[in-house]
C-alpha cells in the first residue's frame, strides 16, 4: 500500500495513525438478557405438553388436561402463587423419565418463530443470555442448546426420582417458590443493565424486586393484559425486544 496515495499523515518516514478514545459513558452498553422459557423461547407451556404425554390413555384425559391448563393460566396471570401452581400441576401427573425425551422433541418443534429466525444472532450473543424458568433443567437445557445458547446459564428447577421410579420436584429447586426467579437472579450478581423478557407475572416480579433494570412483556405467543400494564416495554417479537434503546431503559 502507498500510504502517500492514501492521504495518511507521515512523520519521519512513519505512518501516524489517530486513536479516537470514546468516553466510557458513551460506550455501547452490553446488557444481560434474561429470557423466560415457556411462551417466550417456545410457543407452548412445557408442563401442559408434558401433561398431554403423561395422560395418554387416561379415561378422563381431556378433563385433566383442562384442569392443568387452567392452573397454568392462573399462575401466569398472578392469580395463584407459582409454588401452588407448580405443585398442583405435578400432583395430577405420574411422570416417568422416559417421557422427557418426547417432551424435548415437542419443544424443539415449537420454538417461538422470531427466536428461530434469529437463532444465529442468539448464538453470537450467548454469553450475554440467561434463561430463567419455573420449568425444569431436564427439558430446558437440551432445548435451548438447539438455539446455540449456553446450558450453564439456565436457572430452573430440577426433578428427582422416587423409589417407585416416578419423578417429583426436587424440594431444593430455586424457582419453585414465590419470588424464586428474582432471588436466583440476584444471587448470580449478573452484569447490569439486566433486561428480563417474559410473558408472566413471575417475570414482572423480577423487576418489582429490582433483580433487573427493565422488564419487557413478551406478547408474540400470548398477551396477558395484567402483565403488559406493569411492563417497562411490550414487544411482539424478538426483533422488537432487541430494538429496545438500552441507553434509555429505566434505572433500578
Q: For residue 186, what is the domain's CATH number?
A: 3.40.50.1000
* Residue 205 resides in a domain: yes
pTM above 0.75, yes or no: yes
* Residue 135 resides in a domain: yes
Domain enclosing residue 209, as ranges: 29-44+111-248
* Residue 73 resides in a domain: no
Specify whether the backbone of 149 is left (phi greater than 0), alpha (psi in -120 to 50) or beta: beta
**What is the helix (H) or strand (E) element at residue 74, kind and residue range?**
helix 61-76
* Residue 97 resides in a domain: no
Q: What is the pLDDT of residues 174-232, one digit of tens each?
A: 998 889 999 999 999 999 999 999 999 999 999 999 999 999 999 999 999 999 999 99
Predicted local distance difference test score (pLDDT) of residue 31: 95
**What is the helix (H) or strand (E) element at residue 99, kind and residue range?**
helix 99-108
Q: How many domains does the chain have?
A: 1
* Residue 36 resides in a domain: yes
pLDDT above 80 (res 25): no
Predicted local distance difference test score (pLDDT) of residue 251: 55
Q: How far lies 43's CA from each of 46, 180, 199, 213, 248, in Å?
A: 9, 23, 11, 25, 29
* Residue 152 resides in a domain: yes
* Residue 105 resides in a domain: no
Amino acid at each position: 500500500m502507498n500510504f502517500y496515495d492514501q492521504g495518511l499523515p507521515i512523520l519521519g518516514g512513519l505512518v501516524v495513525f489517530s486513536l479516537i478514545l470514546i468516553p466510557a459513558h458513551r460506550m455501547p452498553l452490553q446488557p444481560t438478557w434474561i429470557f423466560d422459557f415457556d411462551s417466550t423461547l417456545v410457543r407452548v407451556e412445557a408442563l401442559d405438553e408434558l401433561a398431554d404425554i403423561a395422560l395418554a390413555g387416561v379415561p378422563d384425559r381431556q378433563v385433566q388436561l383442562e384442569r392443568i391448563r387452567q392452573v397454568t393460566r392462573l399462575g401466569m396471570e398472578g392469580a395463584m402463587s407459582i409454588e401452588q401452581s407448580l405443585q398442583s400441576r405435578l400432583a395430577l401427573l405420574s411422570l416417568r423419565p422416559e417421557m422427557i425425551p418426547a417432551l424435548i422433541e415437542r419443544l424443539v418443534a415449537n420454538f417461538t418463530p422470531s427466536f428461530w429466525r434469529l437463532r444465529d444472532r442468539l448464538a453470537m450473543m450467548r454469553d450475554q443470555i440467561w434463561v430463567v424458568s419455573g420449568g425444569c433443567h431436564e427439558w430446558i437445557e437440551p432445548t435451548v442448546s438447539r438455539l446455540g445458547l449456553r446450558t450453564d446459564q439456565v436457572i430452573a428447577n430440577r426433578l428427582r426420582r422416587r423409589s417407585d421410579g416416578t419423578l417429583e420436584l426436587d424440594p431444593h429447586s430455586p424457582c419453585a417458590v414465590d419470588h424464586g426467579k428474582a432471588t436466583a437472579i440476584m444471587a448470580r450478581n449478573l452484569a447490569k443493565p439486566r433486561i428480563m423478557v417474559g410473558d408472566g407475572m413471575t417475570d414482572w416480579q423480577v423487576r418489582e424486586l429490582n433483580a433487573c433494570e427493565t422488564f419487557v412483556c413478551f406478547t408474540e405467543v400470548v398477551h396477558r393484559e395484567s402483565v403488559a400494564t406493569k411492563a417497562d416495554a411490550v414487544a411482539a417479537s424478538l426483533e422488537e425486544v432487541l430494538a429496545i434503546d438500552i441507553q434509555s431503559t429505566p434505572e433500578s
